[in-house]
Amino acid sequence: MWLSQHGYFGSLRGSGGNVSARIDDTTMAITPSGVKYQELSLNDICIIGFDNKEIAVKKGRKPSIESGMHSVIYQKRPEINAIVHTHQTYGSVFAILNLPIPALFDEVSWALGKIIQVVPYALSGSRELAANVGAKLSNNANAYIIQNHGILALGKTMNQALLHAELLEKAAQIYYLALSTGKPVTELPIS
């Protein structure tokens, strides 16, 4: 609900984006497709296996079409326990520019990684998109931009994943404003 209230799903009325949490080594809880976040209840959350088989899904609900993308992250990054996928404004600017965001501040570098990389485009919910995300995970970053789509923020806890989504949006907004001046942008001197 907090993400929706603060515009991270792209619209206060929309249901774009999704959130999941690892339950154990083979299952996750994930938001359903097509339900407005203001109308979600605990009973609407879908429990599915990493193989995308439904374990506990309320009648009339379907797990997010991005379940495969979440599954691949949990399987390749066992330290990750929560994932936030949003269509937040400034992060989405860099998604359509197909432009990574470099390390600009210590706090962002420490929390998200040295660079917020762009995952190549593939159709939403496709196996190709899940594979594209999986191919980027070896850098151990906690945030990614999905080309022409949105962002991913990962965390050991849900609060950490939410913080990472906020930090990505802060970095994206500041980077966008800095680039708009036409002056050189100073990146952190990290190797």
Using a pLDDT cut of 70, give the percent of the chain over it: 92
Q: Name every residue whose Cβ is closer than 8 Å to that of residue 118 and which is 6 or more positions away in sequence.
A: 94, 95, 98, 99, 100, 144, 145, 146, 147
Residue 5: what pLDDT? 53
- Identify the active-site residue in 66, 107, 128, 169: 66
pLDDT of residue 77: 98
Q: Which domains does the chain have, with CATH numbers?
A: 2-180 (3.40.225.10)
**pTM of full prediction above 0.75:** yes
Convert the pLDDT of each residue in 16-58 to its tens digit. Answer: 789 999 999 999 999 999 888 788 889 999 999 999 999 999 9
pLDDT band at 86 (very low <50, low <70, confident <90, very high): very high
pLDDT at 41: 87
Concerning whether 66 is annotated as a catalytic residue, the answer is yes
pLDDT per residue over 128-179, tens digit each? 999 999 999 999 999 999 999 999 999 999 999 999 999 999 999 999 999 9
CA distances from 191 to 11, 84, 109, 114, 188 (A): 38, 28, 12, 9, 9
Segment 62-73 shows an average pLDDT of 96
